[in-house]
Structure 1
């Protein structure tokens, strides 16, 4: 009788472990082409700390699978532990959403080759990033001009560079505001507001917050944006 009881406990434990590993509101699958051995980590930032949600050991097969429970759409990170091989290309940020998602990439181009599907927020984030790239490129051009001007300094050139930079920042901020307001029914809106233009005039942040749908307003980033707006107003 005691043996049957112990066996029952073992079976229950096995079932519980299996259930834990195969349930969750986010089912993430993927493949890292060329990866024969290594470890993947799925993490998120919580209270300024990187927290590991799941770890996946790759041995032989390069595909992976993970079941996660998330409160709602939020940015997660897929990290690759390359072992003794050092590389800065070891992290893929992705805008996770409950449901079915996939991340397919390559070992040699872990970040750049990543194809992510199953998330409307990530699709919008990718679109934003491509359009936002031109502001990054323009800023790099201005940095180069500043460095060149230091070699043979001219106050006139410096003033011209400063004015160009101010115009660039205004253009970028207006672009982010418009993009966020046009997609205020998705969590990407408050996320961009707090990560790209947190120091913009609070009236623009208010405009984004006021246009957010009720669901987005109560999301992780919606709450953070509203709290940020409150703090800015209290400090004015």
Structure 2
């Protein structure tokens, strides 16, 4: 398999050298739809942003432009939730798709896309095994078979480890491909900081200079700035009453910053435990500050009331673009940051039981 990955990359790079132009030219046909608006989009600040559009002419469309380095783009149609996802580089790229099966489009002319297709193929067996495990788990839950559920969870964790190992091997064997940077950036979520550094340093210089390499470096630098032992960055967001509230106003106290949202199932399941912890430690001078990644104020306020979250709350209602969440490098919730009386970060991402232990250490 390793030799196959290397061979695919070599062929792709050769193809690029023969097909390289100063701009990209995307030509495509959508069978099953003759007319309508077509959009070319890409992800910017966690949102899918339309950057160009055209009209289908007898099922055909065309886009031209330039990219500094290969990037993942999307072709979208009006009234269609699915999109064609592919890597654009400055070459002549042909796209053939069925309007009812946009995710199965065939893309020719992008060497980076060829590498990504190879990566997807390498991940298929993991997806199939995961789907089978999910069905087994649901059946066990229906039967209230806790032992079986626990066993499946253990298997799922092992499968995830295998999947991660396979992804790392693919990246190592294709370290000159921009796709390696894309895969690596996605793998960083939940990874320890030293492992992120190791992954980034394994990439070729051209990949480090790409959009995804730059994003990796920025994230690593950000996480280093809010690592344990660093001063907690101050931020100011509005309370439910639209009153600005700053983290710095709690200086001198032990503070638990709790990043959560009304739409986050794991957050809501953790909230009762956080309520109990708050009751135990608040009278000892410990403050909680809830930072919501909601975008609907009414749902945010309802969750606060329904879950009995009596501590201070703030939000800018910007979802994953929350200024505070970005400042602290939050990529998953629930997430907690424990700050001591001197404003220094002493622990991160602890659940209520572990959090209680660390708080008690600070209270001694």
Mapped contact 1:45–1:51 kept (Cα < 8 A) = yes
The residue number in structure 2 matching 1:219 is: 210
Residue 174 (structure 1) shift? 0.6
In the TM superposition, what are the counterparts of 1:41-190 in structure 2 within 5 Å?
41-59=39-57, 61-82=58-79, 87-88=80-81, 90-112=82-104, 114-190=105-181
Mapped contact 2:24–2:67 kept (Cα < 8 A) = yes
The residue number in structure 2 matching 1:31 is: 29
Mapped contact 2:24–2:91 kept (Cα < 8 A) = yes
- C-alpha distance 34-149 of structure 1, shift in aligned 2 (>3 A): closer
Aligned residue pair count: 207
Q: In the aligned structure 1, how far is the partner of 2:145 from the partner of 2:179?
A: 42
Instruction: For CA contacts below 8 A with separation 6 or more, give which structure has more relative contact order.
Output: 1
Query: Is residue 228 from structure 1 mapped to residue 219 from structure 2 by the alignment?
Result: yes
Segments of structure 2 that go 5 or more residues without pairing to the other structure are: 1-20, 229-364
Mapped contact 2:137–2:152 kept (Cα < 8 A) = yes
After superposing the two structures, state which structure 1 stretch, 200-209 or 39-48, moved more. Answer: 200-209
Segments of structure 1 that go 5 or more residues without pairing to the other structure are: 1-22
Q: In the aligned structure 1, how far is the partner of 2:211 from the partner of 2:128?
A: 31
Q: In the aligned structure 2, how far is the partner of 1:201 from the partner of 1:174?
A: 15
- 3-state SS of 1:221 partner: helix
Q: In the aligned structure 2, how far is the partner of 1:38 from the partner of 1:135?
A: 37
Deviation per CA, 1:81-116, whole angstroms, max 9, x where unpaired? 15xxxx54x31011111121111112232222x110
Query: Is residue 194 from structure 1 mapped to residue 185 from structure 2 by the alignment?
Result: yes
- C-alpha distance 159-136 of structure 1, shift in aligned 2 (>3 A): same
Q: In the aligned structure 2, how far is the partner of 1:48 from the partner of 1:194?
A: 13
- 3-state SS of 2:102 partner: coil
Mapped contact 2:38–2:78 kept (Cα < 8 A) = yes
Mapped contact 1:101–1:117 kept (Cα < 8 A) = yes
Q: What is the TM-score when the length of structure 2 is the normalising length?
A: 0.53
Q: What is the TM-score when the length of structure 1 is the normalising length?
A: 0.80
Q: In the aligned structure 1, how far is the partner of 2:22 from the partner of 2:30?
A: 22
Residue 161 (structure 1) shift? 1.0
Mapped contact 1:76–1:94 kept (Cα < 8 A) = yes
Q: In the aligned structure 2, how far is the partner of 1:25 from the partner of 1:138?
A: 41
